[in-house]
Amino acid sequence: MTLVASSRRSFLRSAAVAGAVATAGFAQQSERRPNEENEVQLSQIHGPSEQKESTPGPFLPEDRRVGFAIVGLGRLSLNQILPAFGSSEYSKPVALVSGDRAKAAKIAAQYGINGSAIYGYANYEELAKNPEVKAIYIVLPNGMHEEYVVRGAKTGKHILCEKPMATSSKEAEHMITACKQAKVKLMIAYRQQYEPHNRALRQLVTEGKLGELRGFVSSNSQQEGDPAQWRLKRSLSGGGCLPDVGLYCLNAARFLSGEEPSEVMAQTWQPKDDLRFVEVEASCSFSLRFPSGYTATCTTSYDVHKSQFLRMEGTSAWAEMSPAFAYHGNKLKWSHLDGEHENEIAPQIEEKDQFALEMDHFAECILEGIEPKTPGEEGLRDHRVMEAIYESARTGKRVKL
């Protein structure tokens, strides 16, 4: 059985032909490959029973890569996104937008970004004049996404926006419209949809290895500390654990099945005596019913030791990622009856930088004029479900979508 393509490129190609995948927003991909003229592939020296080696790349030369402006220099930018350019094939960082010029200068020095390409929030629109910038990556607090996507779209640059897309479906709709009007691409940074273990699991599902899909069980939870952080302020975050980490469960329940939910039941918990949870929920559990009978049962918390997993239950097998949703160290296992024994099978899948894969997908969309697999509409769908979750928790009633 072939779980996932060995290179990200062939993953894109196979995605293009998988009809079921298209329902999750996967666009048609071209067959040409950037920089094929510089590809070097070596012969296989190992026996045919060994895993094939592949040569990474071919990497696009610096001067042909898609230049990104990174907007916001918080922990995600510094700890994950900027380092990811080092294993990118088609992308490079060329500009920084930050409210802290001194910090931005240090970062620019580390990543070889020209000191003249540091911008503040006030002169953000000057990105329009920087021809090196082809894409803007919004890595700001959720409550600022709408403004910076809309302002960014007006510069004529393509927009990659972190998840959650916004703080409401109304904002999300506005962002989609603004990008359409400006004729720029809009992609939401659902990194897990580009991550190899998730791709392999999606393939198990589409190949029918689990039988018919019936259940999805998941938790994505962690222990928040500092009560002063923006994630705990409603105006900046739009909510507590649900839009931040719970969103991964929700999106995976949709993405991995290719189905859209029709009913929601949910509960939230907001303790009265905890300074961290004055404005937002500490935890949330929700159950999604899909038309086929497939059901997702999810829980998320900001007051639990980091706990990240998902399990998919089909009529003839189950599959599990534990951890799931992690930046590093995701593991996949599935289990079915093989002859007389239940066999647990763990495909050994090489870790790839998810942010590099995600940015390279957007770069490729720009280079080849195709639509992203996770466009604004993908983010909008999640916002509509999250609004139903909050409504059900508030009313204590089942909510139809």
Tell me how crowded residue 364 is: count the other CB atoms within 10 A of its CB: 24
Please tell me whether residue 2 binds a copy of itself under the rule CB under 8 A.
yes
CB nearer to a copy of itself: give 73 or 365: 73
Please tell me whether residue 278 binds a copy of itself under the rule CB under 8 A.
no
CB nearer to a copy of itself: give 49 or 116: 49
Which position among 17, 28, 109, 278 is part of the footprint of a copy of itself (CB under 8 A)? 109
Which position among 50, 122, 123, 183 is part of the footprint of a copy of itself (CB under 8 A)? 50
Residue burial 126-153, b: 16+ Cβ < 10 Å; e: rest:
ebeebebbbbbbbbbbbbbbbebbbbbb
Q: Are 162 and 190 in contact (CB under 8 A)?
A: no
Binders of a copy of itself among 61-100, rule CB under 8 A? 61-62, 73-75, 78-79, 83, 85-88
Binders of a copy of itself among 18-37, rule CB under 8 A? 35, 37
Stretch that binds a copy of itself, among 133-141, 144-152, 161-169, 279-287 (CB under 8 A): 279-287
- Could you give the CA distance from residue 283 to residue 269 in angstroms, rounded to a whole number? 5
Which position among 20, 57, 132, 173 is part of the footprint of a copy of itself (CB under 8 A)? 57
Does the annotation mark 194 as catalytic?
no
Tell me, residue by residue from 165 to 204, as one string, x for binding to a copy of itself by CB under 8 A and - for no binding.
Answer: -----------------------------------x----
Strand order in the sheet with 283-289: 295-301, 283-289, 263-269, 399-400
- Shortest separation between residue 77's beta carbon and a copy of itself, angstroms: 10
CB nearer to a copy of itself: give 168 or 219: 219
- Could you give the CA distance from residue 259 to residue 385 in angstroms, rounded to a whole number? 13
The region, left, alpha or beta by phi > 0 then psi within -120 to 50, assigned to residue 238 is left
Binders of a copy of itself among 325-344, rule CB under 8 A? 328-329, 335-344
- Could you give the CA distance from residue 299 to residue 111 in angstroms, rounded to a whole number? 38
Question: Exposed (0-12), middle (13-18) or buried (19+): which is 69, by Cβ within 10 Å?
Answer: buried
Residues catalogued as catalytic: 163, 248
